[in-house]
Every structure is written in C-alpha cells, then in structure tokens.
Amino acid sequence: MLLMAAAAGLLIAMAMMIARAFMGPSHYDRILAVNSFGTKTVLLIAVIGFAFGRPAFLDIAIAYALINFVTTIALMKVFRYRSLQSPLSDAGGGSHAGSFFAAKKGQSAGGQGQ
C-alpha cells in the first residue's frame, strides 16, 4: 500500500514536471524540468522493481540515470554553444584555465626578453 502511494506521488510529480517543461519561460527551465522528470522516472523504476521483487529493475534504473545525466549535459552544451562540436576553450566560456595558462606563458616570455 505504501509503495502504491509512493508511485502515485511520483506520477503526480512527473505530471508537474511535464507541465513545467511545456510552460518554462527559458530553455534552461525546460532542461531542468526534463532532468527532474528523468530523476523521477529513475525513482519510479526503482519503486516498481521493489514492489514486484525484481532487483534487476535497479540496474535498469541506474543505467537510465546515467543516460539522463549525459543527456542533460549534452543539452546544456547545445543550448549554450549552439553545437556539440565546439570545444569549451574556443566557445568563450566554460573553464578559464586555458586563458590563465596563456597569460602565465605570456608573462614568462615577456620576462625573459628584458
């Protein structure tokens, strides 16, 4: 009985995430809603597996969680850089370690010429 209540709660939360994905004012709100929907799906798969005594469902839930994570990262990159092909250092954002090391290299080269 408790598992059915948990499954019902997850289904209600998933319906709210779908509504948020359609009504979200920005791409990032929609991505967050889809990611939350995927997380709730993982929980629902785990609850169903526990309810029916099928431990293999937990393996499926873990695999789905990994797919959900990778897809979310890929979508964030597409919406930020408009491509999956552009490297982070050339896109003008992301990690600033490349520009830090380039500045250090310029300082050391300038110091040798003096």
Asked if residue 89 belongs to a domain, the reply is: no
Vertex 73: Cα angle to 67 and 74 (nearest 5)? 85
CA distances from 9 to 5, 37, 77 (A): 6, 13, 32
DSSP-based three-state secondary structure for 52? coil
Specify the higher pLDDT residue, 15 or 28: 15
Enumerate residues 6+ apart whose C-beta is below 8 A from 39: 65, 68
Asked if residue 36 belongs to a domain, the reply is: yes
DSSP state of 54: -
Which has the closest alpha carbon to 84: 92, 96, 75?
75
Structural domain harbouring 6: 2-82
CA distances from 70 to 2, 65, 75, 76 (A): 32, 9, 9, 10
Asked if residue 13 belongs to a domain, the reply is: yes
Overall pTM > 0.75: no
Asked if residue 92 belongs to a domain, the reply is: no
The string of pLDDT tens digits covering residues 33-79 is 999 999 999 999 999 999 999 999 999 999 999 999 999 998 888 88
Whether the per-residue pLDDT at 91 is higher than 70: the answer is no
Specify the higher pLDDT residue, 107 or 21: 21
Average pLDDT for the chain: 82
Asked if residue 102 belongs to a domain, the reply is: no
Question: Looking at residue 79, what is its pLDDT?
Answer: 82
Specify the higher pLDDT residue, 114 or 69: 69
Asked if residue 51 belongs to a domain, the reply is: yes
Specify the higher pLDDT residue, 40 or 84: 40
